[in-house]
Structure formats: structure tokens, C-alpha cells
Amino acid sequence: MFSKACEYGIRASTYIALQSLEGRRVSLKEIAEEIDSPVAFTAKILQQLSKNQIVDSLKGAAGGFEIQRSGIDRIKLSEIVYAIDGDTIYTGCGLGLKKCNANKPCPVHDKFVQIRDDLRYMLENTSLYEMTVGLEVGLTYLKR
């Protein structure tokens, strides 16, 4: 569904949001540990998320990553997915034709578009805050 990079990106953003809610800024090392991802690779992804203004990064000792409270409420999963995987998930054809196109649809177009739109709706309506809710109380997990 999503690339590994995107999966790590969502998990990382969610962990940063969770800690930011407690007022804690977190380091790359801690993030990678808590979401069980390769450290250096996660660094690249966080750079990308920082450039796309999804997370804030601070260099130097006592630096790290954080997300403003306003961001935690505002940022939706769709923005993270878009920053890392682009829009292929929305514009791509299920059978791999150049672009999805209702005027010259592939045989699964109608059915595929329904599912894709459900996915889109879900991503566009799930905020980082919502992602953190179950984590605090141990109902959901970012690693196993």
C-alpha cells in the first residue's frame, strides 16, 4: 500500500506528536528505537518531513524533533503520505495504465475508484492527534 519510507514516516510523526503533547522534544535515536526503524534511514525521512513542515527540527545539543500543538490537530495522514509517496495513490490506475482516467477507464476503474476514494477520505480525515489517542492508554502500538 505505502512505501516503507512512508510507513516509517507515519509512525515517526505519530510518536513525535505523542511526545510533543507531553512537552517532550525527541531525538532521532529515540524515535527510531520507539518505532523500531533503521536509524539512518529514519533520519532521511525526518529530513523530508521537516522540509514539508510536518515536523519541526532543532539542531545542536538538546535539539531534536517536535510538532506544535496546532500542528498535531491540523496535520492529517494524507499530508504525510503526500510528502513521501506523492499522489500516485490518488491518481494511479489500479491496473497500471499511465493515469487513471474516467474517459478511457480500465475494467476495474469504477470499483477501484470507490475503494481509493474511501482510502483518501480516511487519510484526509485522520489527524495526528487522533493517531495518538489509543497509544497513551496502551490500546494501540507503534511497534511489536
Partner DNA sequence: TTTAAATCGGACAAATATGTCCTAATAAAA
Partner DNA sequence: TTTTATTAGGACATATTTGTCCGATTTAAA
Phi and psi angles of residue 111, each rounded to the nearest 5 degrees, phi first: -70, -40
Longest dimension (CA), the chain: 56
Q: How many CA atoms lie within 13 A of 21 on its CB side?
A: 15
Q: How far is the CB of 40 from ligand FES (least distance, A)?
A: 25
User: Out of ligand FES, DNA, a copy of itself, none, which partner does residue 100 contact, by CB within 5 to 8 A per kind?
Assistant: ligand FES
Residue 6 interacts with ligand FES (CB under 6 A)? no
Tell me the H-state helices in 1-92: 4-21, 28-35, 39-51, 69-74, 77-85, 88-91
Q: Site map for ligand FES, 95-114, x if CB under 6 A? A: x-x--xx---xx-xx--xx-
Residue 28, C-alpha cell as written in the block? 532521532
Q: How far is the CB of 115 from a copy of itself (least distance, A)?
A: 5
Applying CB under 6 A, which residues contact ligand FES?
93-95, 97, 100-101, 105-106, 108-109, 112-113
